Amino acid sequence: MSRAPDYPNASDPTLVQLAQQGDTLAFEELVARHRDKVYSRALSMMRNETDALELSQEAWIKAWQRLGQFQGESSFATWITRIVINICLDALRRQKRLHAESIEQMAEESGGVERHLPPVQVDMLAGLDRAELRARIEAGLRQLSEAHRTVLILHEFEGLEYKECAKRMGCSIGTIMSRLFYARRRLAALLAGLKEERKP
């Protein structure tokens, strides 16, 4: 009789292999390991706990369905994160939160108030420890528009190139470059405390 796998101590690739053969216990272990990361990504994109919970679970279900396609080119964590990003992008698109209108869109792509601000030159956050810095960044990101926040998440946190960001956000590379530029400028101004943004 074969011994039951030691799920908690198994590596991700081993768990993936078992899950690909239909082992739900192995999949459960993968969920347990990466659920916080997946949920956090959904939360950072949706800014809403209920949506983040639902969409993160949807991502896991989709991952289960597509596990056969996972060949290990990236880590499992990267793969599942990309799935939840796509699901969130679709949800944002359905809610039309990415498809900004008129003035807001103009500001996203051609700059708003930050166009007139001098560039931040001093590292105001130099003394902060990592946790504090992350908390400040999160507070700053929360004040950005959906499109600005999304482009920063895709480019800075997920490491996607302009082209890949454009594909995922459904716009041109030029738009991505503009959005990224003004998102960075706005975030810099916010983090440096130069500009008090109104609460959304």
Partner 1 sequence: MTRETQLKLQAWLDGELPAADAPEVERLVERDPQAAALVRELTLTRRWLAAGEVTHPVPESREFYWSQIARRLVPRDHPVSAPGRVFAAWRRWLAWLAPAAACAGLLVLWLWPRWETASRAAARPPEIETPTEEIGTYTFRSESEQMTVVWVNSL
C-beta separation of 114 from 178 below 8 A = no
| Shortest distance in whole angstroms from residue 78 CB to partner 1 | 14
The least CB distance from residue 175 to partner 1, in Å, is 10
Looking at the Cβ atoms of 76 and 185, the one nearer to partner 1 is 185
Residue 157 backbone dihedrals phi, psi, to 5 degrees: -95, -35
Structure tokens of 145? 């528009």
Question: Hey, what are 161's tokens?
Answer: 């190139």
Residue 59 in contact with residue 83, Cβ under 8 Å?
yes
Asked if residue 31 binds partner 1 (CB under 8 A), the reply is yes
**Of positions 21, 116, 196, 200, contacts partner 1 by CB under 8 A:** 21
Backbone angles phi, psi at 124, to 5 degrees: -70, -20
Judge whether 197 and 141 are in contact, CB under 8 Å. Answer: no
Please select the residue that binds partner 1; options are 47, 77, 137, 143, rule is CB under 8 A. 137
Interface with partner 1, residue 90, by CB under 8 A = yes
- Residue 123, burial from CB neighbour count under 10 angstroms (0-12, 13-18, 19+): exposed
Segment contacting partner 1 by CB under 8 A, of 8-16, 56-64, 71-79, 143-151: 56-64
The contact pattern for partner 1, residues 109-128, with x = CB under 8 A and - = no contact, is -xx------xxxx-x-x---
Q: Is 10 in the site for partner 1 (CB under 8 A)?
A: no
Indicate whether 64 belongs to the interface with partner 1 (CB under 8 A).
yes
- Residue 77 binds partner 1 (CB under 8 A): no
